Structure 1
Amino acid sequence: MATHETPEPRRRRRKADRPSEILEAALQEFATNGLSATRLEDIARRAGIAKGTIYRYFDSKEELFIAVIRSRIVLSLDDFNRMITQFPGPTDALLRLVLTGIYKEFVGTDIAALMRILISEGQRFPGLVDLYYNEVISSGVSMLTHIIQRGLERGEFRDSAAAREPRLIMAPALMAALWRLTFDNQDPLSVDDFLAAHIDLVLHGLNSR
């Protein structure tokens, strides 16, 4: 006799989804208004909840900002690192795959606005800058360092100034993100074309052939 699972009550499913809905609403408000000008009332309104509901999950606006960083950026970097450790192919293909993923996850999305907030408001929230560096920037640099070392050990990359400065490998992506946030109305950026140029530039600087 076939058995059927009882559907989870709609209210319970809604409650389980609530933290992610709050985070998504917070990201949109932060991207539009910045950190200082964003109000919890506006986040609650965008999420379709009462303001007090936010405090069931997050103690403050700053904690909510940190949760957005961790849920959208840190977790994505963790996924990249898992993929890197399991990748069987040549290192230039791995680096191409990672850069493509970075543009897809960060450069072409609202996540890039978080970096603008840290640049424009970082002096008011130094603890957030420290956290972003420790959990995002240092992790990203470590990831790129690992990829470069892999290529050097396999003889696919040459020992060069570019290989010794992994931050340079990420620089074009940061420039693309800032351009989209600042000058896209005046001179729209083709993310796909810029990514292709970025990959071409980096691989010509690293490849041993």
Structure 2
Amino acid sequence: MIPPSAHPSPTTAKRERRKEARPGELLEAALELFVEKGFAATRVDEVAARAGVSKGTLFLYFPSKEELFKAVVRENIAGRFAEWALEVDTFEGSTSELLRYCYKVWWERIGRTKASGITKLMLSEAHHFPEITQFYQHEVIRPGQMLIRCILQRGVDRGEFRALDMDYAIYLVLAPMLFLMLWKHSMGACVPDALGLEPEKYIAMQADNILQGLVVRPPSPSSPPG
């Protein structure tokens, strides 16, 4: 028989659960504040207060604001590229269907979430913070570009897309994403009903436009002799 003292009390169990939850709560609070206020204006004591812990507790997990920001980026974006790459590798439909699918799930998983505000933050403050800029380029921008390149190269290799200058074609795919993130956290945030923009319809239209330019078309019949 296990002595009563060996069983954790409800208070102890609650404290342990709280301790285990702290990193996630801190990352969630940090994401909210970074998106609301920007990197420079966010203070670590504000993050700790919003998460319901002391500043000292925050520093047990994240030794600086820079490391806290990096953890936020990894949790919400950078840490998911392996999962996304596997989805691309195992997709069974056409590359046109794959591109439409990627736009759709990007909006669902990133675009319409708070994580989309990280891009706006980087565009606004990158030149002031070279360390986090270099980190973001390495952990988000380059993997993102490589993933798009793989999708486009898949289409070319399968004879679905015409030959492309991949260094620039990736920006065709990125442009609608960047627009939506800026709209959501800039003009759309200030005047949310001014344009009546529905992101899902916008993405579908942009996918149509991009694919019209990418897909290989059958040769047109030669003109009859005059």
TM-score, normalisation: structure 2: 0.83
Unpaired segments ≥5 residues, structure 2? 1-6, 218-226
Deviation at 1:188, TM superposition (A): 4.6
Partner of 1:126: 130
> Cα gap change, 1:18/1:152 in structure 2, threshold over 3 Å: closer, same or farther?
same
Residue 206 to residue 162, structure 1, CA distance change in 2 (3 Å): farther
C-alpha separation in 2, matches of 1:90 and 1:40: 47
Tell me the residue number matched to 2:148: 144
Aligned counterparts of 2:111 and 2:70: Cα–Cα separation in 1: 19
Match of 1:15 among 10, 15, 19: 19
Structure-2 separation of matches of 1:201 and 1:163:
19
The count of corresponding residues between Structure 1 and Structure 2 is 204
Determine if the alignment matches structure 1 residue 197 to structure 2 residue 205: yes
Contact 2:25 2:51 in 1 (8 A): yes
Uncovered stretches (5+) of structure 1, i.e. residues with no partner: 1-5
Report the more deviating stretch, 150-159 or 187-196.
Answer: 187-196
The code of the aligned residue for 1:128 comes to I
| Cα pair 2:100 2:204 within 8 Å, conserved | no
* 1:52-91 alignment, distance < 5 Å: 52-91=56-95
What is the one-letter code of the residue matched to 2:139? E
CA-atom RMSD, angstroms?
Answer: 2.0
Equivalent residue number for residue 43 of structure 2: 39
* Structure 1 runs of 4+ with >6 Å offset: none
* Structure 2 residue matching 1:55: 3-state secondary structure: helix
- The TM-score with structure 1 as length reference comes to 0.90
CA shift for structure 1 position 60: 0.6
Instruction: Tell me the CA shift for residue 17 of structure 1.
Output: 1.8
Determine which of 166, 172, 183 is the counterpart of 2:170: 166
Please identify the structure whose Cα radius of gyration is greater: 2
Moved more, 102-111 or 145-154: 102-111
Q: How many Å apart are 1:43 and its aligned residue?
A: 0.7
Moved more, 23-32 or 96-105: 96-105
